[in-house]
Structure 1
Amino acid sequence: MPVYQHILLAVDFSPQDSQVVQKARILARQTGAKLSLIHVLDNIPMPDTPYGTVIPLDTQISYAMLETEKQKLNEVGDGLEIDPDRRWLVWGEPRQEIIRIAEQEKIDLIMVGSRGRHGLALLLGSTANSVLHHAKCDVLAVRLQDD
């Protein structure tokens, strides 16, 4: 029985993503695990107004942004030869969505990139730290270095 059977790779499309992608490829190959991919869309522009929060719904811009994110996900997925039915592009809070998909798909290892945090960012935490503390499976946080 392999150490890991199903790895979920979480990407944010930062320039350093290639580091965690390469390590996920190697680990999946070494363990014989199947590999899945997730990207969580969490940056919805929501300006405050005196009457509450308004979500600007410019259909053309939203559609173009979504298509760009889909294209990036498919490029990574194609490069890793991940079956399209094991690729997720979801809206929401990254920690919650990564953990939700991991539980739904019976993932036994989540791989995420982790940047060194300092000051206020260290106190507030990160997606990697939050996933580490809430996931029911193993989590591998890959330290990302600036290119």
Structure 2
Amino acid sequence: MSNYTKILVALDIYAESHPVLEKALQIASSSKHINIVYVTVPMVNYQPFGMAYEGDFFNDLCLQSKAKLKELADKFKIPETQIFSPVGNPADEIHNTANDIKADLIVIGTHGRSGLKLLLGSTANGVLHGVKCDVLAVKV
């Protein structure tokens, strides 16, 4: 049995996230130990006279994100109370969610496509900085 009882799986619901979730399920003794999070990045439109938020479009995006996350949770039998969909900076919100649920492991996918973040990717790299628990980066 795993020593991890509170696993937070950070997903990109618009990419192939099944390998990340499946890896977390291999580590967990059951899906009741899995929590999933998808962070919606706020959409800000910079206009010549200030900033404006993309109202209805952004609200629809948040609702679609929650629906996709719930669909994944249902498929893997993860309770609805263990689904999180905050809005903000992905690394910060993953840290906040991990702290709130007292996670002992964060599982995150990584693409690692370019630049200094070649090995991990920007979100995975951001999660590593300042994290208070173990992190498993899964290559997707």
Partner of 2:36: 37
Structure-to-structure mapping, 1:5-84, within 5 angstroms: 5-29=5-29, 34-44=33-43, 46-57=44-55, 59=56, 61-84=57-80
Q: In the TM superposition, what is the alpha-carbon distance from 1:51 to its structure 2 partner?
A: 1.5
Q: In the TM superposition, what is the alpha-carbon distance from 1:33 to its structure 2 partner?
A: 7.0
Alpha-carbon RMSD: 2.3
Conserved 8 A contact 1:7-1:33:
no
Structure 2: which 5+ residue stretches go unaligned? none
TM-score by length of 1: 0.83
Q: In the TM superposition, what is the alpha-carbon distance from 1:100 to its structure 2 partner?
A: 0.7
Give the secondary-structure state (helix, strand or coil) at the position aligned to 2:78. Answer: coil
Question: What CA deviation, in whole Å up to 9, does each residue of 1:86-110 have, x standing for no partner?
Answer: 1101111111111111111110000
Q: How many Å separate the matches in 2 of 1:65 and 1:51?
A: 25
Instruction: Flag the 1:98–1:28 CA change in 2: closer, same or farther, 3 A.
Output: same
Question: What CA deviation, in whole Å up to 9, does each residue of 1:90-132 have, x standing for no partner?
Answer: 111111111111111110000000112323664xx61111111
Instruction: Flag the 1:2–1:21 CA change in 2: closer, same or farther, 3 A.
Output: closer
Conserved 8 A contact 1:7-1:36:
yes
Aligned length in residues: 139
Conserved 8 A contact 2:32-2:78:
no
Instruction: Flag the 1:55–1:136 CA change in 2: closer, same or farther, 3 A.
Output: same
Instruction: Flag the 1:89–1:139 CA change in 2: closer, same or farther, 3 A.
Output: same
Q: How many Å separate the matches in 2 of 1:105 and 1:143?
A: 25
* Letter matched to residue 110 of structure 1: I
**Percent sequence identity over aligned pairs:** 36
Conserved 8 A contact 2:2-2:28:
no
* Letter matched to residue 84 of structure 1: E
Match of 2:87 among 74, 77, 91: 91
TM-score by length of 2: 0.87
Q: How many Å separate the matches in 2 of 1:47 and 1:76?
A: 30
